[in-house]
Structure 1
């Protein structure tokens, strides 16, 4: 029983640590804040291609988080990177990878695409 408590406490501590560390390099923006800056940024949809085709933010490029490591050459380090996925977990994972690779100006859409009310393009 003691081991279970120790494991739970350790997992919570790790989650809290990751959350605060992530806040140092990833800005989570409201839709309004996201709209203000995404045209001057590299707008990246990190969802899978079939999700992207069903609808995406106008002007976004699709680089799935599963392909991001192989496709880093497509992103510039000197321009802001605006990320989004369906709800926010994949864009956070993508931001972590970009941060490790030296990208500094990284933002994500709070709530992800499912909360987006702006213009959408479908294929």
Structure 2
């Protein structure tokens, strides 16, 4: 294997590790843990699905901020409060959690399984 192939292999490995390793400050929680946080006034609840998905099925107190708009809407959120993020399956909310982390939020919770896991 040549040097170029070795460098490409290393870059691919670094990319995969970064993509799938948990990010410090982001915790995956289950539906029951999310429900338990409803009682806490110091928590913000964000649903990052599309407005159509949100309208068809959502839970209070989740506020709809679609993933595509999240980066530009973080100024409307309080960085001092915990934040719980949900989507349909947990994939978009994981991306949203990383965006929030990069924007300076510290305590971020991603609901595993998203609305699909909600019973």
Query: Same fold per TM (> 0.5)?
Result: yes
Cα contact 2:47–2:64 (8 A) shared by 1: yes
TM-score of the aligned structures, taking structure 1 as reference length? 0.81
Corresponding position of 1:114: 116
Structure 1 match to 2:85:
83
Q: Which residue of 2 aligns with 1:68?
A: 70
Aligned CA distance change for structure 1 residues 87 and 11 (closer, same or farther; 3 Å): farther
Unpaired stretches in structure 1, ≥5 consecutive residues:
118-123
**Do the aligned residues in 1 keep the contact of 2:97 with 2:108 (CA within 8 Å)?**
yes
Q: TM-score, normalised by structure 2?
A: 0.83
C-alpha deviation, 1:19, in angstroms = 2.5
**CA offset digits 1:52-109 (Å, max 9, x no partner):** 0001112110000100111112110011000000111111111111111100000011
Q: What is residue 18 of structure 2 aligned with on the other side?
A: 17
Is 1:29 the counterpart of 2:14 in the alignment?
A: no
Structure 1 runs (4+) greater than 4 angstroms displaced: 6-10
